Amino acid sequence: MTKARYIAGPGGKIEGELTVPGDKSISHRALMFGGIAEGDTEITGFLAGEDCLATLRALQSLGVRIERPEPEHVFVHGVGPDGLQPSAAALDMGNAGTAIRLFMGLLAPQRFDSTLIGDESLMRRPMERVAGPLRSMGANIQTRDGKPPVEIRGSTGMRAIDYALPVASAQVKSAILLAGLQAFGRTHVTEPAPSRDHTERMLASFGVEVLREGATVAIEGGQTLRGTDVRVPGDFSSAAFFIVAGCLAAENGLLLHNVGVNPTRTGLLEMLRQMGADIRVHPQPNTDANGEPIADIEVRKSRLRGIKVPESLVPLSIDEFPVFFVAAACAEGETLVRGALELRVKESDRLAAMAQGLTVLGVENQLLADGLWIRGTDRFGGGTIDSHGDHRIAMAFAVASLKARASIEILDVDNVATSFPGFVTLARKAGLQITAS
């Protein structure tokens, strides 16, 4: 099968008003929590991307009835805490790291066995970071050299754990909390730095008591979730591509509607502001989005200056680095990111993929063990970029075309559909000169 590619023409002007698709992290969780809840859950603004559809299909294979009258409108008929059924086949998580890791926590304490697999990229990603702590709770899980397939033998007698995460990871934290819900006793998870807290916020809206004290989250086993309505805000990580595009080329401003602005996700805003960006956040008051704050974001073309990124902002902007590096490539002076080793184990090695692509465009950069150094320039060249099948690398280089002197060809872009269906249409509407073939 030939893989799709983008051609992004050089230059262009960004403007108008846009609404990006629903949040990926929140959509996964709404499906899973709805599936194990008692009663029904109605999800609006659901992300109809391949990653979340993998979660949806897996839940159906586990016996959960789901209706989807429209792509972004989903009803989940919860089966209750003991209602999941064994799947006849291995559960295929596609490209979705969040799906495989959260399902590990959900399925380890069940009374049946499960096997979790994924696509080529997912089959290379580390799973012991979840399997290890789950084993200390009594789970029986095997990985192959630390990677999928993940073979789970259901263990109904799991015990609570007191676990200090070695790296800030919402996926690991969430997997342990999901197992903790079905374990005996009170599970505590402590983070070295805050990671996204959608699990904690959404569990509370499903009626679960989640205790937070400083860097520790605690949950008592045996609580039952109650179905609820979930309104999914626009994905900040998808808005990020247009926020940077706006900084580069929105003379008259760009307005993004209904974006989730949970503070554990918006580190990019702080980094861009430190670089001199003109970004205004207009919070939407009185919205009930399961404890998730929502805002309209207005951005204008700004003169960006390179910065040294504070390491504390890394977990708060973990998925935004590909497009942040594009902003750095267009800034005056040098930008340095360190403490970002996690970027090497995402859908691709994002440090290496970005360094390679920036080099193709003629942007001076240096790949570091845990980060990237970039010298910005006011105009760079075009060329052919390998996205390594990584959605965010592909979209980041599409944004780079705004400052390129020649076209950028971006290879292997099918996976953009995992997180951002309709990206090309929206990007063209905003002013990018992009076509897919």
Region label for 217, one of left (φ > 0), alpha (ψ between -120 and 50) or beta (otherwise)? beta
Query: Which residues 6+ apart lie within 8 Å of 274 measured at CB?
Result: 307
Interacting span for ligand S3P (CB under 6 A) from 39-47, 168-176, 212-220, 266-274: 168-176
Q: Which residue lies nearer to ligand S3P by CB, 168 or 402?
A: 168
Q: How far is the CB of 192 from ligand S3P (least distance, A)?
A: 12
Q: Which residue lies nearer to ligand S3P by CB, 7 or 352?
A: 352
Q: Is 418 in the site for ligand S3P (CB under 6 A)?
A: no
CA distance from start to end of the chain: 13
Number of residues forming the site for ligand S3P (CB under 6 A):
11
Q: Is 335 in the site for ligand S3P (CB under 6 A)?
A: no
The strand pair at 383-386 and 408-411 is best described as parallel
CB hemisphere CA count around 15 (13 angstroms): 4
Q: How far is the CB of 171 from ligand S3P (least distance, A)?
A: 3
Q: Is 258 in the site for ligand S3P (CB under 6 A)?
A: no
Q: Is 182 in the site for ligand S3P (CB under 6 A)?
A: no
Q: Is 92 in the site for ligand S3P (CB under 6 A)?
A: no
- State which of residues 87, 133, 191, 196 lies at the interface with ligand S3P (CB under 6 A): 196
- State which of residues 14, 20, 25, 301 lies at the interface with ligand S3P (CB under 6 A): 25
Q: Is residue 149 reached through a cis peptide bond, with omega within 30 degrees of 0 on the bond before it?
A: yes
- State which of residues 48, 64, 318, 404 lies at the interface with ligand S3P (CB under 6 A): 318
Q: Which residue lies nearer to ligand S3P by CB, 253 or 291?
A: 291
- Say how far apart CA 376 and CA 403 lie, in whole Å: 11
**Which residue of the set 23, 51, 296, 319 is catalytic?**
319
Q: How far is the CB of 346 from ligand S3P (least distance, A)?
A: 6
214 exposure class (CB count in 10 Å sphere: 0-12, 13-18, 19+): exposed
Q: Is 170 in the site for ligand S3P (CB under 6 A)?
A: yes
Q: Which residue lies nearer to ligand S3P by CB, 127 or 355?
A: 127
- State which of residues 27, 55, 95, 98 lies at the interface with ligand S3P (CB under 6 A): 98
Q: Is 87 in the site for ligand S3P (CB under 6 A)?
A: no
Q: How far is the CB of 399 from ligand S3P (least distance, A)?
A: 18
Q: How far is the CB of 2 from ligand S3P (least distance, A)?
A: 27
Q: Is 319 in the site for ligand S3P (CB under 6 A)?
A: yes
Q: Is 125 in the site for ligand S3P (CB under 6 A)?
A: no
Cβ–Cβ contacts within 10 Å for residue 46, how many?
26
Give catalytic status of residue 319 as yes or no: yes
- State which of residues 87, 171, 266, 365 lies at the interface with ligand S3P (CB under 6 A): 171
- Say how far apart CA 206 and CA 212 lie, in whole Å: 16
Query: Which residues 6+ apart lie within 8 Å of 78 measured at CB?
Result: 34, 35, 36, 37, 38, 39, 40, 41, 64, 225, 227
Q: Is 231 in the site for ligand S3P (CB under 6 A)?
A: no
Dihedral of alpha carbons 103, 107, 112, 117, sign: positive
Rg, Å, the chain Cα set: 21
Q: How far is the CB of 328 from ligand S3P (least distance, A)?
A: 19
Q: Is 174 in the site for ligand S3P (CB under 6 A)?
A: yes
- As beta bridge partners, residue 371 has 368
Interacting span for ligand S3P (CB under 6 A) from 134-142, 167-175, 220-228, 375-383: 167-175
Would you say how long the chain is, in residues?
A: 437
Interacting span for ligand S3P (CB under 6 A) from 57-65, 163-171, 250-258, 348-356: 163-171
- State which of residues 169, 187, 262, 302 lies at the interface with ligand S3P (CB under 6 A): 169
Q: Catalytic residue numbers?
A: 319
Residues at the site binding ligand S3P, with contacts judged by CB under 6 A: 25, 98, 169-171, 174, 195-196, 318-319, 342
